[in-house]
Amino acid sequence: MNESSTDLANPDHAKLPSRCLVSYARPQAYVEFTETILTHLGYRVLTASAYEATLPEGGERGVDAPKADILIVDERRIGEIPDSETGIPIILLTGRHGVTGADPRIAGAIKRPAGLHDLYRLAQQILEDSPRSVPRAATHLMAHCRSHGRDWTSTVLSLSENGCLLRSPEELLLGTELDLVLDLPKFGRVSLRAEVAYQLVPDTGLVFSALVPADRAALSACVKHVLAS
């Protein structure tokens, strides 16, 4: 992420959105243009140094100083988080193994380099009562999973036509691909290919790929039916 985007003298800052993301990570930890597009989607992104420079004397953030809603932290910099930021949820940028160990500050994790869609989706899940993007409905559906010759059953906690939130008894590494079979009430069975995109601790976010039109239509119809019920 570019330091130039954190110039607090920029006159356009009066128009910036209220949600503030603070980055404790180098630019290489993100896919190119992620910061710029996030700004257009309603998030202000500050580097850690720019954010800390706005802290007034006395250490208390008033109405004129930005307050972080989420800290985006490279796992190698977790020790840099000041005590003053206790209570602010952390999105950890990590490797394939995701979150290891118990740290109540960590709300979710994404594999480096963090892409726009995964970061935006996770920020929405953490901050918004009604996450944007495509409609998503709370569910309690059994899912039959298969990956690398292993089969098991999991629970789909929320569903959209693009992906789902999965509670799995099996450990799933970030970036893992798996096959998923869902029986949608009233809309039949769909067989899906998915990738583990993020963690929303303790659950796992999947993104569907190569959807055939019939399966996408069934997912969309199911979500709308649940939301209307």
| pLDDT tens series, the chain, 229 aa | 543 332 222 323 334 447 899 999 999 999 988 888 788 778 889 999 998 888 766 566 655 667 899 999 999 999 999 887 888 999 999 998 888 777 889 999 999 999 888 898 899 889 887 666 667 789 999 999 999 999 999 999 999 999 999 999 999 999 999 999 999 999 999 999 999 999 999 999 999 999 999 999 999 999 988 888 7
Q: What is d(CA 144, CA 165) in angstroms, rounded to the nearest whole number?
A: 14
pTM above 0.75, yes or no: no
Q: Residue 25: its pLDDT value, please?
A: 96
* Site of tokens 């906690």: 157
The answer to whether residues 46 and 20 touch, using CB atoms and an 8 Å cutoff, is yes
The answer to whether residues 110 and 92 touch, using CB atoms and an 8 Å cutoff, is yes
Q: Residue 61: its pLDDT value, please?
A: 64
Given this structure, which CATH class describes domain 3-127?
A: alpha beta
Q: Which fold has domain 137-228?
A: Thrombin, subunit H (2.40.10)
Q: Residue 37: its pLDDT value, please?
A: 79
Name the residue ranges covered by the structural domains of the chain. Answer: 3-127, 137-228
Amino acid present at 153 = T
Q: Residue 63: its pLDDT value, please?
A: 59
End-to-end CA gap in the chain: 42
The answer for residues whose C-beta is within 8 angstroms of residue 228's C-beta and 6 or more apart is none
Q: Name the helix (H) or strand (E) containing 200.
A: strand 188-200
